[in-house]
Structure 1
Amino acid sequence: MSEHAKDSGLTALLEELDREIEGDISLGAILEHFNSRGFGPLLVLPALLVLLPTGAIPGVPTTCALFIGLIAFQLLLGHRTPWLPRRLASFSFEHERLTHGVQRARPWTRRIDRLLKPRLGFMTRGIAYRLIAALAILLAATMVPLELVPFASALPAATLLLLGLGLIGEDGVVILLALAVLLADVVAGLWLVG
């Protein structure tokens, strides 16, 4: 794994976000701080905001979905420096909520970090990278209506988290796991509807 990937494990990303962004956490600050790291952290962090206790704040799942969808769309267009509309960039929540969530999640994130390693690299580069961006747009779009059902946005957020972790760790196996989770979600959804 590259030095970049080693330094960007899930635990390190969360701790860096908690430590280096002062005051309330805004989506604009997340974009500005982590933009140079590629698409992985920009998928992982908003997905985690939905999965952590911050996801219970009304509007957080939809706002994070808009963030992910907009960044992914710009990636598909080939933009190297994504931007956010001012209103979306200014969306924020209390730093204390993040600190609490990071502390609770740390034992789990450390376990996840130990599992990440470079495998099936072709799944994290080239055309696969663009396909992941397209999939992220679709998943983000499902999060918006799912916010109306308590905790339902966690399903696409979990898939987005795995996709982002796969990109960060250059781990194609985790990308495949994300696709398996997505397939299971689709099958379960069709079964519930039918």
Structure 2
Amino acid sequence: MTKLGAEDDGPSTLDGVLDEVEHSIGAEGATPPTMTMGDLLSSVGRQSYGPLLLLIGLFAISPATVLPGMTWFAAALTLIVAGQMALGLKHIWLPGWVLRAKAPRALVRGGVREARSWSSRLSVLLRPRLTFLTKPPFVNLIALLVIAAALVTFPLGLIPLAPLAPGLAVAFFGLGMVARDGLWLGFGAMILGGASWLFRALIF
């Protein structure tokens, strides 16, 4: 079984991920008014976990999740991807129901614009450091943390705004993987800790 780290093919910066997503959305007024998740996810490649997790994390905290069921959809997608990451699979498999799911282009475009507003400021804080955390066996541990973030999202999805915490953790894990920045993986772990505390406080 081939182990996969953060250095595989795919966008290597946050702006690069956003560029690819923006290209897949198309110009203003592009038709049809919805796009498939398959097109969206394929825009950043299906052989690199970092950009894919970053995209899923950004989706989880985007306006698109106001649509009924989208929070749980994002959590299920996170679980599928992170499970394969934990196993070290080289090629990421996604089920047909994920690839066929649709999201409004306008909402996805709005999420990209929102991300653009802070991506340049965030990018200057990202750089390769503690890179051993982005490689096996540590990357497998990161995958388990991402799985935990997905699992706590399911019950938190019953509470308005609560799923933003684990979604943000997934986005930070994705950022750390994309930039090979172990410090941001640590930030993701801390946010996940906060989400877990929130889960205990609100559910129990």
- Do Structure 1 and Structure 2 share a fold, with TM-score over 0.5? yes
Deviates most, 75-84 or 56-65? 75-84
> 18, 22, 37: which is aligned to 1:18?
22
Q: Separation in 2 of the partners of 1:119 and 1:142?
A: 29
> 107, 111, 136: which is aligned to 2:117?
107
5 Å matches for 1:119-158?
Answer: 119-158=129-168
CA contact (8 A) 1:124 1:171 kept: yes
5 Å matches for 1:1-194?
Answer: 7-22=11-26, 24-36=34-46, 38-190=48-200
CA offsets, 1:150-194, max 9 Å, x none? 111111001111111000000011111112222233345545678
CA contact (8 A) 2:38 2:98 kept: yes
* Structure number with higher helix proportion: 1
CA contact (8 A) 1:43 1:68 kept: yes
Count of equivalent residues = 193
Which ranges of 4 or more aligned residues in structure 1 deviate by more than 4 Å? 2-7, 188-194
Residues 167 and 149 of structure 1: is their aligned pair in 2 closer, same or farther, counting only changes over 3 Å? Answer: same
Deviates most, 121-130 or 23-32? 23-32
CA contact (8 A) 1:72 1:137 kept: yes
Q: What is the percent sequence identity of the aligned residues?
A: 30
CA offsets, 1:80-107, max 9 Å, x none? 1122221122111111111122223312
User: What do you get for the CA RMSD once the two structures are aligned?
Assistant: 2.5
Q: Separation in 2 of the partners of 1:35 and 1:168?
A: 12
Structure 2, unaligned stretches of length 5 or more?
A: 1-5, 27-32
Which SS does the other structure have where 2:121 is aligned? helix
CA contact (8 A) 1:41 1:164 kept: yes
Q: Separation in 1 of the partners of 2:195 and 2:160?
A: 16
Matching residue's letter, 2:101: F
Deviates most, 21-30 or 159-168? 21-30
Structure 1, unaligned stretches of length 5 or more?
A: none
TM-score by length of structure 1 reads 0.87
Deviates most, 49-58 or 177-186? 177-186
TM-score by length of structure 2 reads 0.83
Residues 129 and 25 of structure 1: is their aligned pair in 2 closer, same or farther, counting only changes over 3 Å? Answer: farther
Q: Separation in 1 of the partners of 2:110 and 2:150?
A: 25
Deviation at 1:7, TM superposition (A): 5.0
